[in-house]
Amino acid sequence: MKTKIRIALQKKGRLNEDSMKLFKEAGIKFNVGSGKLVASSPGFPIEVLFLRDDDIPQTVADGVADIGVVGENEMYEKGYEVDIARKLGFGKCRLSLAVPKAQDYPGIEWFNGKKVATSYPNILKKYFDENGVEADIHEIAGSVEIAPGIGLADAIFDIVSSGSTLVANRLREVDVAMYSEAVLIAKKGLEPEKQELLEELIFRINAVQTANSNKYVLLNAPNDKVEEIVKILPGMKSPTVLPLADKNWSSIHSVISEDEFWDVIGKLKANGAEGILIIPIEKMIL
Ligand code: ATP
Ligand code: MG
């Protein structure tokens, strides 16, 4: 029988939707029936297990799944030995210490002797050790943000993204211990056939993510402005310049990255570009 690679994904929660979208764009659609915990994909030898994110690092470390998608926070907390095959760029958050809003906070030494509620006791212990802090770490599974308000702890250590949960609970972020994003993890020492499948997956993920962070640009320019405009548009090699039916004008095609997009568009307009079209790219192979 042909080798299949087995991937563990979050069953539901903040990583599920982005994970499914990424694999779909990479040409891998899972046949998920309602409530099914295992699914396969037509056209790629892969099988998916849907799990709670807490269970993904161990499932991969033990080889029950070969690879998985999980937040770095969860991966470091659990501490299993796995490889990070690729950072995925979604599920971005940070792990921070927060204190009651009105609390004076001189610096991290404030935490000495304090009771801190968290779902990430291992990461917090390590962070306190590195900073010479001795605190009472109180592990709770969920709703960490309410702990100070109900008198269960003096402060918390938890996931923050926008910070609105902290504000709603009258807490103030005072220190960031780590930044996290979703990562594709792999079992150490994968069999060669599975390693090959993993590399094919990474190749596809690269094509999707490079495409998503770039745009195809088409514009018209008077011939005497072409040289200036070509300098603004580097492109993958160099921009394509094509003649238009009107002999005094040319059409210029190129690719620009999302990061420099608005800056470049401003410069193009200022240099006489007209009829600028921006087109999304579906896949991009460099
Ligand atoms: P499960 O039921 O699978 O155990 P969970 O409740 O533990 O789910 P989620 O809230 O779905 O976890 O978050 C999963 C991961 O998504 C977190 O471990 C973190 O890496 C990331 N994450 C959490 N909150 C945010 C956020 N607000 N923005 C972006 N990413 C986040
Ligand atoms: Mg969880």
For residues 232 and 145, what is the distance between their CA atoms, to the nearest angstrom? 49
Dig out the tokens for 206 from the structure.
Answer: 């690269």
Judge whether residue 235 has pLDDT over 80: no
Dig out the tokens for 175 from the structure.
Answer: 């220190």
For residues 4 and 46, what is the distance between their CA atoms, to the nearest angstrom? 5
Note whether residue 246 is domain-resident. yes
**Closest atom of ligand 1 to CA, residue 52:** 3
Question: Which residue among 84, 93, 140 is best mutated to probe the pocket of ligand 1, counting the most ligand atoms within 8 A of its Cβ?
Answer: 93
Same domain, 43 and 110: no
Tracing tokens 């404030």 back to the chain, one arrives at 110
With bands split at pLDDT 50, 70 and 90, how would you rate the model's confidence at 146?
A: very high
Note whether residue 203 is domain-resident. yes
CA distance readout (Å), 79 to 32, 83, 104: 30, 12, 34
For residues 276 and 250, what is the distance between their CA atoms, to the nearest angstrom? 12
Please report the beta strands in 52-106, taking only residues with DSSP state E, as ranges in sequence order.
Answer: 67-71, 83-87, 93-100
Domain that holds residue 84: 5-90+181-211
Same domain, 264 and 229: yes
Atom 2, ligand 1: which residue's CA is nearest? 52
Q: How far is the CA of 54 from the centre of ligand 2 (A)?
A: 5
Q: Please, what is the Cα angle at 63 between 6 and 50, to 5 degrees? A: 45
Question: Which residue among 53, 55, 74, 88 is best mutated to probe the pocket of ligand 1, counting the most ligand atoms within 8 A of its Cβ?
Answer: 53
Q: How far is the CA of 243 from the centre of ligand 1 (A)?
A: 52
For residues 228 and 231, what is the distance between their CA atoms, to the nearest angstrom? 5
Same domain, 82 and 126: no
CATH for 255: 3.30.70.120
Ligand at shortest distance from the CA of 14 = 1
Q: Is 96 in the pocket of ligand 1 (CB under 6 A)?
A: no
Whole-structure pTM value = 0.90
CA distance readout (Å), 68 to 192, 207, 273: 18, 19, 46
The tens digit of pLDDT for each residue in 154-179 reads 999 999 999 999 999 999 999 999 99
User: Structurally, how many domains does the chain consist of?
Assistant: 3
With bands split at pLDDT 50, 70 and 90, how would you rate the model's confidence at 114?
A: very high
Same domain, 162 and 222: no
**Cβ contact 11:37 at 8 Å:** yes
Full DSSP string of 148-206: TTTTS-SEEEEEESSSHHHHHTTEEEEEEEEEE-EEEEE-TT--HHHHHHHHHHHHHHH
**Closest atom of ligand 1 to CA, residue 14:** 11
How many residues are recorded in the chain?
Answer: 286
Averaged pLDDT for residues 51-69:
97
CATH for 70: 3.40.190.10
Q: Is 159 in the pocket of ligand 1 (CB under 6 A)?
A: yes
Q: Is 243 in the pocket of ligand 1 (CB under 6 A)?
A: no
For residues 195 and 197, what is the distance between their CA atoms, to the nearest angstrom? 5
Q: How far is the CA of 36 from the centre of ligand 2 (A)?
A: 19
